[in-house]
A and B are shown apart, each in its own frame.
Chain A
Amino acid sequence: MNTNTALVNKTEDLPGDFAIWIFILAEMLVFGVMFIVYAFARSNQLEVFNASQLTLSRSMGTLNTIILITSSYFVVRAVSAIKSGDSRQSGRWLLGTIFLGGMFVAVKLWEFKQKFLAGITLETNDFYMFYLTLTFFHLMHVLMGMIILACIVYKLKHGGYSAQEHFGVETGASFWHMVDLLWIVLFPLIYIIR
């Protein structure tokens, strides 16, 4: 077996802290149940769900998907940079991620504002109740991810991570990817499928 084959076949440990993976699975489970409940609730009120869904801005939903995917890519680059020992570059990629997270929040708040201005609340109908609850719950995770990444950037700036010790960066990265992963299901479910 040559070195390359050995590298390809090597089984590695989970990136980051094991505890974050348990947290990720728990979060995905909670969101998964909510996605399924939404789908079955919709099947009982097809017309209400389809008509209300058409009032959402699919272009804003798509924009936010691209923003999150790009932010996830920035996180990959941040992990790659710290693994090479370049903490400065890693910090820059993470700051870029936080900026994109801010853009996601801004777009989402704009969407919420449009709905509230139109007089739509949690009580308008079941579709809007799910839309507002699910996307707000997800938004809280984006904000939590931004705080986690900001703490990592702070520690990076103070020499807390290196090519040998980058466990915390990987842990934060895994959390951020989870936020992206959840949106990958949430976006088509709420905005596209009808």
Chain B
Amino acid sequence: MNTPLNRFATLIWLALVILTVMTFCIGEEVSAGKTVMLSVLLISLVKGQLIANYFMGLRHVSWLWRGIILGYFVVVGSMIAIAYLK
């Protein structure tokens, strides 16, 4: 059944695929560096939020759970960035 919610999920899927292809292109075309690392981590943060909020259904759940997932990506992403910038 193609409800508005299903159509919305399809758009989120499309956005995730586009972001994945962007990550691949960055990895293939651009040489290594801080900008590459930070952009790829930022793309992962966005993808993680799209999956958590719209696929896992956390968008309408208590802010605490959304905060935990966002916090996870921010903390893990920041630690990875710190290690790469060391």
Contact = CB atoms under 8 A, between A and B. Distances in A.
B79 A192 contact: no
Contacts of A72: 13, 51, 55
Given A36-B76, A73-B9, A192 B84 contact: no
B37 A84 contact: no
Nearest to A59: B24
Contacts of B24: 58-59, 62, 192
Contact of B13 (A73, A177, A178, A194): A73
A176 to B, nearest CB: 9
Interface residues of A, number: 51
Contacts of B47: 184
A188 B40 contact: yes
Given A14-B61, A80-B5, A84-B1, A193 B36 contact: yes
Contacts of B70: none
B1 A11 contact: no
A28 B5 contact: no
Contacts, number: 129
B27 A76 contact: no
Interface in A26-70: 28, 32, 35-36, 39-40, 42-43, 50, 58-59, 62, 65-66, 69-70
Given A177-B55, A192-B27, A77 B16 contact: no
A76 B52 CA distance: 12
Contacts of A100: none
B26 A192 contact: yes
A42 B81 CA distance: 12
15 contacts: A14-B58, A32-B75, A39-B79, A58-B27, A62-B23, A75-B55, A80-B6, A86-B1, A173-B56, A181-B56, A181-B69, A184-B47, A184-B51, A187-B23, A192-B40
Please give me the 10 A-B residue pairs with the lowest Cβ-Cβ distance, nearest first. A39-B83, A192-B27, A73-B13, A62-B24, A39-B80, A194-B32, A36-B79, A177-B56, A15-B57, A12-B60
Given A14-B65, A180-B51, A192-B40, 13 more contacts: A15-B56, A39-B80, A40-B86, A62-B24, A65-B23, A69-B16, A72-B13, A73-B12, A80-B5, A80-B9, A86-B1, A185-B73, A191-B27
